[in-house]
Amino acid sequence: MIHGYRFVVSDTPYTGPCSSKNILTVNGQFPGPTINVVRGDTLVINVYNNATENITIHWHGVKQPRNPWSDGPEFITQCPIQPGTRFSQKIDLSDEEGTLWWHAHSDWSRATVHGALIVYPKTTNSYPFPQPHAQVPIILGEWWKSNVQEVLDEFLENGGDPNISDAYLINGQPGDLYECSRSNTFRMTVDYGKTYLLRMINAAMNNILFFSVANHELTVVGTDGAYTKPFKSDYIAISPGQTIDLLLEANQQPSRYYMAAKAYAIAGNYNNTTTTAIVEYSGQFTPPSSPLLPNLPDFNDTNASASFTGKLRSLASQDHPIDVPLNISNNLFFTLSINTRPCDNNSCDGPFNERLLASVNNISFVTPRISILQAYNNHIRGVYGDNFPSNPPLKFNYTADIIPRYLWRPDNRTEVYVLEYNSTVELVFQGTNTVAGIDHPMHLHGYSFYVVGWGFGNFDKDRDPLNYNLFDPPLQNTIAVPRNGWTTIRFKANNPGVWLLHCHLERHISWGMETAFIVKNGKNPEAQMLPPPLYMPRC
Ligand code: C2O
Ligand code: CU
């Protein structure tokens, strides 16, 4: 089935926690419209830019088979949609099932331009778990009282950290623990004895979040548009970009309970007020003076975050087989670093009065002036280089406590890594402690990948691969590389195109923690990129 949607992007007056301002929205809604489709459907989205700034829309976790033209990241697969113009995206949803989402992929506009994309199985009731009574998207977001574009311009100008946001949100609301929160805290009503599927999306800009429901155990059943082996947990940790599907059984004393979210972060940039919404049982009960709050791990509990993520497993069953590449043609090792560089008069706001940057293999990505996909397709030279290194330029103790900063200044370049069609990739992400050790939720466009291993400290190429999980590794599109640790992913390069790889912490991508893969065409016509649509935006 083909579904057509109009996405009208505009500056919309909006009253949020403690402030009224204009925000960018799609169709006047925040969070934006939820799109419901069945696996195998096609979406045609006509985006009209009625706002005063550039925009693009990305379909996070959708593989866009052979069709990078509809992927959306600005200056990677398309030029931005300029004010007063439009762009049409055609999206094939044949290869994913579960919770995904869409968001703007242009500067920081995704703060308010995002929404859920739910892909239902082809036949009803064919979930690999009991049919839930109802399904509820839960979108976690982040709110600044000031204009987000100004927050971005300011920290890029002064070279320091961005201003801390003012609140986290659950379906657009910070909850009634906030001083100036509105009375319309998000509420979900449940019937005793029934089971609900919570479709969680972390749309926050800069933090991994912990989430939990008071008194209720949660059963994790999916992540990133793929099912997982069910497991029970009191809380979840969810990275920006990631989605998690949860079953919530309404099996407690009928009452009112808080669901709550809280940032997990090591660096200073977090808001530690608990964000809440309410789970309320139907029927009669004596309401508590205040709903019970769940216990959430501490804001700096790296083990709580990493150990939750490490529990995710593929179903790896007959109905849901896995296909982990075993013979690897490309062995890649990418370091993820926060860096600094001296600036004029040593007057920047970063550490040592320098400018903050971020890099992959010591290259801090420079946004090109036209899209890499258009340059690649039309053989335009001088837009990007195809020499992204498969290994870092320097070896050292990446996760040592003190790393002299002169050891490693980044290069500013636009480099991509080229992959042959159908070649196999193993990619080790190594976090470093060059300026600050922090988790990096790494996201790859155009693919889901198997997460075959992770650990703390420096990756040991002789020992660590012996412990890889090649039996039921989870299939994900975003994976939090733990602070001072490493994570290994594998995938087969069977989707030709230009595909962005980046940290989904917005400040890190703004500092350059990104690169792209060009996956070449194969020999057969079915192994080649589709031709561009008749109209692509111009830069
Ligand atoms: Cu959620 Cu590059 O995107
Ligand atoms: Cu990062």
Report the nearest atom of ligand 1 relative to the CA of 478. Answer: 1
- Residue 502: pLDDT over 60: yes
Q: Are 98 and 119 in contact (CB under 8 A)?
A: yes
**Nearest bound ligand to CA 359?**
2
Report the nearest atom of ligand 1 relative to the CA of 445. Answer: 2
pLDDT tens per residue across span 226-250 = 999 999 999 999 999 999 999 999 9
User: What is the band of 80 on the pLDDT scale with cuts at 50, 70, 90?
Assistant: very high
Q: What is the pLDDT of residue 404?
A: 77
Report the nearest atom of ligand 1 relative to the CA of 240. Answer: 1
**Burial class (CB within 10 angstroms; exposed 0-12, middle 13-18, buried 19+) of 466:** exposed
Which token pair is 331?
A: 């062995």
Q: Are 482 and 440 in contact (CB under 8 A)?
A: no
- Residue 70: pLDDT over 80: yes
Report the nearest atom of ligand 1 relative to the CA of 60. Answer: 1
Mean pLDDT of all residues in 133-151: 95
Ligand 2 centroid – CA 87 distance (Å):
30
Q: What is the pLDDT of residue 376?
A: 98
- Residue 212: pLDDT over 70: yes
Q: What is the pLDDT of residue 181?
A: 66
Mean pLDDT of all residues in 142-146: 92
Q: Are 70 and 59 in contact (CB under 8 A)?
A: yes
Ligand 1 centroid – CA 94 distance (Å):
20
pLDDT tens per residue across span 383-427 = 999 999 999 998 999 999 888 776 778 999 999 999 999 999 999
CA distances from 109 to 10, 26, 74, 261 (A): 11, 11, 12, 22
Measure the CA–CA gap between 14 and 32, rounded to whole angstroms: 13
Ligand 1 centroid – CA 288 distance (Å):
41
Does 105 contact ligand 1 (Cβ within 6 A)?
yes
Ligand 1 centroid – CA 426 distance (Å):
21
Angle among Cα 367, 373, 374 to the nearest 5 degrees reads 100
Q: What is the pLDDT of residue 270?
A: 56
User: What is the band of 271 on the pLDDT scale with cuts at 50, 70, 90?
Assistant: low
Does 502 contact ligand 1 (Cβ within 6 A)?
yes
Report the nearest atom of ligand 1 relative to the CA of 73. Answer: 2
β-pairing verdict for 98-104 and 86-92: unpaired
Collapse the DSSP code of 266 into the 3-class scheme (helix H, G, I; strand E, B; otherwise coil) and give the result: coil
Q: What is the pLDDT of residue 272?
A: 60
Ligand 2 centroid – CA 209 distance (Å):
14
The amino acid present at 342, given as its one-letter code, is: P
Mean pLDDT of all residues in 365-382: 97
Report the nearest atom of ligand 1 relative to the CA of 110. Answer: 1
**Nearest bound ligand to CA 444?**
1
Does 58 contact ligand 1 (Cβ within 6 A)?
yes
Does 443 contact ligand 1 (Cβ within 6 A)?
yes
Q: What is the pLDDT of residue 114?
A: 98
- Give the start-end residues of each E strand in 457-539: 475-476, 478-481, 485-492, 497-503, 514-519
Ligand 2 centroid – CA 356 distance (Å):
12
**Nearest bound ligand to CA 202?**
1
Does 103 contact ligand 1 (Cβ within 6 A)?
yes
Q: What is the pLDDT of residue 17?
A: 83
CA distances from 302 to 274, 344, 438, 485 (A): 18, 36, 9, 11
CA distances from 61 to 12, 41, 476, 510 (A): 27, 15, 8, 20
pLDDT tens per residue across span 23-61 = 999 999 999 999 999 999 999 999 999 999 999 999 999
DSSP per-residue letters across 98-125: EEEEEEE-STTGGGTSEEEEEEE-SSTT
Collapse the DSSP code of 308 into the 3-class scheme (helix H, G, I; strand E, B; otherwise coil) and give the result: helix
User: What is the band of 268 on the pLDDT scale with cuts at 50, 70, 90?
Assistant: low
Q: What is the pLDDT of residue 178?
A: 85
Measure the CA–CA gap between 408 and 419, rounded to whole angstroms: 27
Mean pLDDT of all residues in 346-373: 95
Ligand 2 centroid – CA 438 distance (Å):
7
Report, in angstroms and rounded to the nearest whole number, the Rg of the chain calculated over CA atoms. Answer: 22
All structural domains of the chain: 1-125 (2.60.40.420), 129-314 (2.60.40.420), 330-527 (2.60.40.420)
Mean pLDDT of all residues in 195-213: 97
Measure the CA–CA gap between 477 and 445, rounded to whole angstroms: 7
Mean pLDDT of all residues in 109-135: 94
pLDDT tens per residue across span 85-108 = 999 999 999 999 999 999 999 999
Q: What is the pLDDT of residue 125?
A: 73
Q: What is the pLDDT of residue 519?
A: 98
Ligand 1 centroid – CA 472 distance (Å):
25
Does 114 contact ligand 1 (Cβ within 6 A)?
no
Please report the ipTM that was assigned to this predicted complex: 0.98
Average pLDDT across the chain, whole number: 95
Collapse the DSSP code of 178 into the 3-class scheme (helix H, G, I; strand E, B; otherwise coil) and give the result: coil
Measure the CA–CA gap between 5 and 8, rounded to whole angstroms: 10
- Which residue has the CA at smallest separation from atom 3 of ligand 1? 60
Report the nearest atom of ligand 1 relative to the CA of 509. Answer: 2
pLDDT tens per residue across span 428-465 = 999 999 988 899 999 999 999 999 999 999 999 999 99
- Give the start-end residues of each E strand in 105-250: 114-120, 134-143, 167-170, 187-190, 195-202, 208-213, 218-223, 226-233, 235-238, 243-249
Tell the residue number behind the tokens 């900063």, with chain if given. Answer: 405
Ligand 2 centroid – CA 381 distance (Å):
30
Q: Peptide bond preceding 531: is omega within 30 degrees of 0, i.e. cis?
A: no
pLDDT tens per residue across span 483-495 = 999 999 999 999 9
Q: Are 18 and 179 in contact (CB under 8 A)?
A: yes
- Residue 214: pLDDT over 60: yes
What are the backbone dihedrals phi and psi of residue 399, each rounded to the nearest 5 degrees, phi first?
Answer: -110, 20
pTM > 0.90: yes
Q: What is the pLDDT of residue 267?
A: 56
Does 355 contact ligand 1 (Cβ within 6 A)?
no
